[in-house]
Amino acid sequence: MIDRVVVAVAGGNGGDGAVSFRRERFVPFGGPDGGDGGRGGDVVITATRRVSTLGDLREDLVYGGVNGGKGGPKLMHGGRGDQCDIIVPVGTLIYDAEQEDQPLVADLATDGARIVIARGGRGGSGNKRFATPTRKTPRFAQRGAPGVKMRLILDLKLLADVGLVGLPNAGKSTMLTAWSAARPKIADYPFTTLEPELGVVSVGYDRFVAADMPGLIEGASDGVGLGHEFLQHIERTRVLVHVLDMTSESALDDYRLINAELEAFGRGLAEKPQLLALNKVDDAVAEIQIEELRPQIEALGVPWFVTSAATRTGTDALARAAFAALQEERSREVAQAEQVVPVLHPEPKRRRVEAERDATGHAVVRGQTAEWLAVTFDTDDYDSRHELLDRLKRLGVGRALQRVKVQPGERVRIGTVEVEWE
């Protein structure tokens, strides 16, 4: 199962505005009629239960929206670019791979959850938009803005109600087979389960989803063995069923080892409700061990059940107990959600534009609108450059530059564009 991929996404570029003039017989001085460019297509990520892995996504491709269409004569507007849809399993976490701390962008934990992850660029204005009483024949238009580009980490965490945990070959896969119609690989050697398996367990008229997790070993919280690939999937389970091989000579030490790894990994794994399945009682050795260790088992303070997943002894009772614990956990979560009072904070007032000098003393202007204007106007064209400067001044860039003592004729960097300030 592929549960972690790094992908590149890019919104479509906006279409360029058109430079055009109306030319018809008997219509002198028709004036500009260049249309606007269309907006680029967005990149949308949608979660669905129809897929179960991230295996269809390729790291060597850029998932991008379609570029917007160019504007045309007679005020024809360019078409909007089609969006790019990325389908991921429910439970996918999206992180920004380009930032150092890789912050979480979205948690698609429900079926149908979606996010517009990379917006397409705005279309440029045609020359009709720049006609004024004093400039009746503008011979320039605005370029389309580039779409947003990002690199993302998509991380899948399975959504299961009950997780089966334990050492390799403790009988977790056999337990899932006894509970449900799932058929995970079963063999008499360690690590037969290399990826989590899901099964739907029926308890009367009720159901819950159980997950057979790959076996833990000592040091898993530090990444040993299947390590973090295993532990991250347990985070979203509500109840843990600890399957213990009672034919082991150190059964209780095995129990403590697994719990120590859960506690070392953190993220609330050690606090999850837990049931103990004393498994493989079809073996006489297991029966003897249970009798000998009964006082120590009862001292653990964990509900325990004598089971044989192979012969399905005690598995129904264990499933009912797991469902009861699940119901209690759900009720507790609902009660906590009702008690939480949202704390609202006013949005901080942000200055529309900011100006500063970098380490080399160069003047730099920052601001989303200012950077968008700078990248969409042709600074080599006289009229286009002056339209850009006028708009920047109306935006407040002139006042911001005065604060850092920029003089006329000095080069100023706005985003990726340099312009001579006038």
User: 276 exposed, middle or buried (CB, 10 Å; 0-12, 13-18, 19+)?
Assistant: buried
207: domain CATH number?
3.40.50.300
Residue 232: the pLDDT is 62
Whether 348 is in a domain gets the answer: no
Whether 344 is in a domain gets the answer: no
Q: Say yes or no: 139 and 218 in one domain.
A: no
**Token output for 161:** 């109600």
Average pLDDT over every residue of 43-47: 91
- Of residues 331 and 128, more confidence is placed in 128
Residue 215: the pLDDT is 53
Average pLDDT over every residue of 86-95: 87
User: Where a domain ends, among 315, 339, 363?
Assistant: 339
User: Where a domain ends, among 128, 156, 184?
Assistant: 156
Q: Say yes or no: 211 and 280 in one domain.
A: yes
Residue 332: the pLDDT is 82
Q: Return the amino acid letter for 16.
A: D
Whether 358 is in a domain gets the answer: yes
Q: Say yes or no: 147 and 173 in one domain.
A: no
**Token output for 42:** 């967005």
Query: What is the pTM for the complete model shown?
Result: 0.66
- What count of Cα atoms within 13 Å lies in the side-chain half-sphere of residue 7? 25
Provide the percentage of residues in the chain whose pLDDT is more than 70.
85
377: domain CATH number?
3.30.300.350
Q: Return the amino acid letter for 152.
A: L
Contact present, 116 and 75 (Cβ < 8 Å): no
Per-residue pLDDT tens for 268-310?
A: 777 888 899 888 888 888 888 888 888 898 888 889 988 888 8
Q: Say yes or no: 133 and 187 in one domain.
A: no
Kindly tell me if the per-residue pLDDT of 223 is higher than 50.
Answer: no
Q: Say yes or no: 368 and 221 in one domain.
A: no
Q: Which residue has the tokens 């979480």?
A: 104
Average pLDDT over every residue of 377-406: 91
Question: Can you tell me the distance from the alpha carbon of 141 to that of 32, in angstroms, rounded to the nearest whole number?
Answer: 11
Q: Which residues lie across from 197 on neighbouring strands? A: 212
Question: Can you tell me the distance from the alpha carbon of 168 to that of 33, in angstroms, rounded to the nearest whole number?
Answer: 73
Q: Which of 40-44, 64-68, 277-281, 329-333 has the lowest mean pLDDT?
A: 329-333
Q: Say yes or no: 39 and 74 in one domain.
A: yes
User: How far is C-alpha 98 from the geometric centre of its chain's CA atoms?
Assistant: 13
Kindly tell me if the per-residue pLDDT of 118 is higher than 50.
Answer: yes
Q: Say yes or no: 199 and 329 in one domain.
A: yes
Kindly tell me if the per-residue pLDDT of 221 is higher than 80.
Answer: no
Q: Say yes or no: 247 and 281 in one domain.
A: yes
Whether 366 is in a domain gets the answer: yes
Residue 227: the pLDDT is 38
Q: Say yes or no: 98 and 171 in one domain.
A: no
Whether 346 is in a domain gets the answer: no
Average model confidence (pLDDT) across the chain: 82
Q: Which residue has the tokens 């209780």?
A: 252
Of 164-168, 214-218, 379-383, which one has max mean pLDDT?
A: 379-383
pLDDT band at 261 (very low <50, low <70, confident <90, very high): confident
pLDDT band at 32 (very low <50, low <70, confident <90, very high): very high
Question: Can you tell me the distance from the alpha carbon of 364 to that of 368, in angstroms, rounded to the nearest whole number?
Answer: 13
Whether 389 is in a domain gets the answer: yes
Q: Say yes or no: 200 and 95 in one domain.
A: no
Whether 225 is in a domain gets the answer: yes
Q: Say yes or no: 291 and 362 in one domain.
A: no
H/E run at residue 354: strand 354-357
Per-residue pLDDT tens for 240-258?
A: 899 888 888 888 888 888 8
The count of domains in the chain is: 3
User: Where a domain ends, among 304, 339, 374?
Assistant: 339
pLDDT band at 336 (very low <50, low <70, confident <90, very high): low
Per-residue pLDDT tens for 5-18?
A: 899 999 999 999 99
Residue 63: the pLDDT is 93
Question: Can you tell me the distance from the alpha carbon of 277 to that of 375, in angstroms, rounded to the nearest whole number?
Answer: 64
**Token output for 349:** 């007032």
Residue 254: the pLDDT is 84
- Of residues 317 and 172, more confidence is placed in 317
Question: Can you tell me the distance from the alpha carbon of 363 to that of 358, in angstroms, rounded to the nearest whole number?
Answer: 7
Kindly tell me if the per-residue pLDDT of 351 is higher than 70.
Answer: no
Question: Can you tell me the distance from the alpha carbon of 165 to that of 255, in angstroms, rounded to the nearest whole number?
Answer: 10
**Token output for 386:** 């002056």
Question: Can you tell me the distance from the alpha carbon of 92 to that of 47, in angstroms, rounded to the nearest whole number?
Answer: 7
Q: Say yes or no: 169 and 312 in one domain.
A: yes
H/E run at residue 318: helix 315-339
Dihedral of the alpha carbons of 358, 363, 364, 367, in degrees to the nearest 10: 140
Owning domain of residue 382: 354-420
Whether 345 is in a domain gets the answer: no
pLDDT band at 158 (very low <50, low <70, confident <90, very high): low
28: domain CATH number?
2.70.210.12
Kindly tell me if the per-residue pLDDT of 340 is higher than 70.
Answer: no
Got the DSSP string for 27-77?
A: BTT--B-PPPPPPPPPEEEEEETT---STT--TTSEEEPPPPPPPBTTTBP
Residue 263: the pLDDT is 81
